[in-house]
Every structure is written in C-alpha cells, then in structure tokens.
Chains A and B, each alone.
Chain A
Amino acid sequence: MKDDDTVFHALADASRRELLDRLYARDGQTLRELTAGLEMTRQAVSKHLGVLEAANLVVTRRSGREKLHFLNPVPIRLIHDRWIDKYTEYQVTALVDLKTELEENRP
C-alpha cells in the first residue's frame, strides 16, 4: 500500500526520527525551535519536515505568523493495526495464556 511505503520511508532516517522525538517531547514547535541545538541546517530540517508532512506524520498549523509542527501518531497506529498486530497477536495471546495458567496453578 502506497501510504505505508511513504511512512516507512519517512521513518527510515535517524534525523527524521529525532525530529519526531522532539515533537513527542514538546508538540507544536516552529522550524526555528526544531532546528535549535541540532547539527543540521535549517534547510535540512525543513526538508526532513516536508518528508514527514508528506507521510502525514507531521501536521502543520498556522498560529498568527508562525507555522507550528505537530506530531501525528495516527499513521504509526495504522501500521501497527494492519501489520504488527497480525504477527504479534498469537505470541502475546500465548504468553497471556501461559501467565494465567501459571498463576492459577500457584500453590
């Protein structure tokens, strides 16, 4: 699915993941705030934010003259629900069953 490709591509870069982590720590930052303290140039950060926005992982909002960047976790949730659940559900269920069984058999 094309949307998934865009999200995986956007996440497959340490700088972009760092930007998402910075938004997770504090949401709604400007480009200037996001660039502060990073090794990257403002242009590089802006380009990375563009990739994240195209993948819907970042949503921008205008607030007066400023453009604020917000982390949108929904695409990651969609990948989780469509891909990760499918492969982990059985193992998790098995572990929960094991835990229940062990606890019930406790003397």
Chain B
Amino acid sequence: MNSTTVPTTTVQVHRVHIRATPEAVWEAITSPEWTKRYGYHAPADYDLRAGGAYRSLPSEAMVAHGVPADGPVIDGEVLEVDPPRRLVQTWRMLFTPELVAEGFTRLTYEIEPEAAGVTMLTVTHDVTGAPITAASVSAPPSDAGGGWSVILSDLKTLLESGEPLYR
C-alpha cells in the first residue's frame, strides 16, 4: 500500500443478492443463451477450463450500429473455474484501439449461497492501469450503458421474474 505510485481506483466491487440457486446464477453468467438476455445482450462464449478462451460476441443492437458480427467485442482467458462458486478470468474490451491498448483486466465472479434460497453474487473487477475500461464499467447509463450496476440489476430481475428489465 505504501509503495511509490499506487493508481487511485484500482478495484471495483459490485454485489447483488438474487433469489435463485448458485447453479442458476452460474449458468446465467457463463452461457450464451442467458447472457444475451440481460445487460448488453452480448452472448458469452466460454471455454470453461483454466487457460480456456473467453469471448463476448456482439449483440444484435451492436451489429445494427455497425460492429462486425463475426468478431468478439470482449476477449480474455479463463484463469480459475470452480462451478458454481467461482470464476476468475482476464477481460479486455475491443471496441476502440484505446481500450485494446489498456490490455487485460482481471475479473472475479464469486457466487455464495445464503439462507432462504438467496444467492450472493460479487463481481470484483481489478481495473488497475485501465482508466477507460474503469470508466466504462462504472458509467452512468447515459454513457456506456451503465456498466456492472445495470448488468447485475437486469440479471437479478431476469432470474427472479423471468423477464429482463430492458429490451
């Protein structure tokens, strides 16, 4: 902590309690069928083993706005897999050359069962040295679509009600 230059905001923590099983939360994070139903509607493509590839493909809305349909919009590598409790991966957005240049950040999903059928999901995003990425994933909805707060709120609503918040 007392080393020479520590960047200010390095880690973002987002936590939500969801009335669903840990298995359902895990599935909602890692499967393309679920990931395209909430947040940015970008289907996730995971090779769920340490060293496996991760990519997020563009949503229909992104393609409609000119994002190439065939390439990923986010890429990374799976570092740790412990279904349905813990997923650690690297994570890099590919929307602009500036984002690509910031390189890979580190993303940790922790899924913990609580009492009465409630699951606690904690997303810890280490964005050290990646200020544009940091701003994007914590942005107000008017800017980059809201970041983790909006994604997790939407995920909670989808898992609890079967319907997403936004369409």
Residue ID in chain A nearest B120 by CB atoms: A56
Q: Find the residue from B12, B15, B138 having the highest chain A CB count within 10 A.
A: B15
Are the CB atoms of B12 and A78 closer together than 8 Å? no
Are the CB atoms of B14 and A73 closer together than 8 Å? yes
- Given A3-B17, A56-B17, A81 and B12 touching (CB < 8 A)? no
**29 residue pairs from A and B, CB less than 8 Å apart:** A26-B8, A28-B11, A56-B15, A56-B16, A59-B15, A61-B11, A63-B1, A66-B1, A70-B11, A70-B12, A70-B13, A71-B13, A73-B14, A73-B138, A73-B149, A74-B14, A74-B16, A74-B149, A74-B152, A74-B153, A76-B149, A77-B146, A77-B149, A77-B150, A77-B152, A78-B156, A81-B153, A81-B154, A81-B157
State how many angstroms separate the Cβ of A89 from the closest Cβ of chain B. Answer: 12
CA distance A56 to B153 in the complex (A): 14
Total cross-chain contacts (CB, 8 A):
52
Q: Find the residue from B1, B8, B138, B153 having the highest chain A CB count within 10 A.
A: B153
Q: Number of contacting residues on A, CB 8 A?
A: 18
